[in-house]
Amino acid sequence: GSAVRLENVRKTYQLGEPVHALDGVSLDVPRGSYTAIMGPSGSGKSTLMNLVGCLDTPTEGTVVVDGADVAQLGDRERTRLRGTTVGFVFQTFNLMPRLNALENVALPQLFRGVDRETRRDRARDLLERVGLGDRADHLPNELSGGQRQRVALARALVNDPAIVLADEPSGNLDTDTEADVLDLFAEFHDAGTTMIVVTHERHVAERAERIVHLLDGKIERIEPLEGRAADG
């Protein structure tokens, strides 16, 4: 089945001249697949991610996430989907400034009624896997940009979401840390998670199974990356 399905999706912003941020996009993202999205600035990448992340609804067409038509969901269901089924890594991190790294990572588990000790254990495990085991008690403003980005990643992964959406996940990372993050994505993918990653970087995109190239709000082409699935 599909993790995500878009059917003739159009998203129009009306500021004087209407702008079609997405203009008739149809896309099927199979469960457990690893998709990269590339395209120049303004091609519609963020708009697409916001629709799949249930942060926005299409002007026309249908967005189906994990079997649910997003437009048909109520606010509560949409919030639940965002907190559990979908893990979203924003470009702007959106960390809580008064919570330390561990508390930020632990937070999404509150949606699921996990007990406090399990929440902390799981958050600590994720922080270690992104290389921040020794920064658990630091506040966001005591961390570098790259460290904050990794906290946001750990938070997106902590509920073991079926679908991970990452917008430029390694834009701010040094080479070693980027490799760690991409290895972590591969681990989640191997475990069956559907990965969708927006990137400007060809070498980041090449970790995926296919690249969806956007241009002017349309899918220009879908490039399969042969052999990736077999690499393990």
Interacting residues with ligand ADP (CB under 6 A): 13, 15, 19, 21, 39, 41-47, 91, 149, 168, 171-172, 200
Pairing of strands 163-167, 86-89: parallel
Least distance CB 143 / ligand ADP (angstroms): 13
Buried b / exposed e along 140-149 (16+ C-beta atoms within 10 A): beebeebbbb
Nearer of residues 116 and 202 to ligand ADP, judged by Cβ: 202
Answer yes or no: are the C-beta atoms of 133 and 127 closer than 8 Å: yes
Least distance CB 129 / ligand ADP (angstroms): 19
| 211: β partners | 36, 223
> CA 52 to CA 55: how far, in whole Å?
8
Helix axes 145-157, 116-129, angle to 10 degrees: 130
Chain-centre distance for alpha carbon 2: 16
> CA 25 to CA 23: how far, in whole Å?
6
Nearer of residues 161 and 217 to ligand ADP, judged by Cβ: 217
Nearer of residues 41 and 175 to ligand ADP, judged by Cβ: 41
Nearer of residues 76 and 92 to ligand ADP, judged by Cβ: 92
Least distance CB 229 / ligand ADP (angstroms): 26
Least distance CB 172 / ligand ADP (angstroms): 3
Least distance CB 91 / ligand ADP (angstroms): 4
Q: Which residue from 9, 118, 26 is spatially nearest to 71, judged by alpha carbons?
A: 9
Answer yes or no: are the C-beta atoms of 65 and 52 closer than 8 Å: yes
Nearer of residues 47 and 109 to ligand ADP, judged by Cβ: 47
> CA 123 to CA 103: how far, in whole Å?
8
Least distance CB 203 / ligand ADP (angstroms): 13
Nearer of residues 33 and 147 to ligand ADP, judged by Cβ: 147
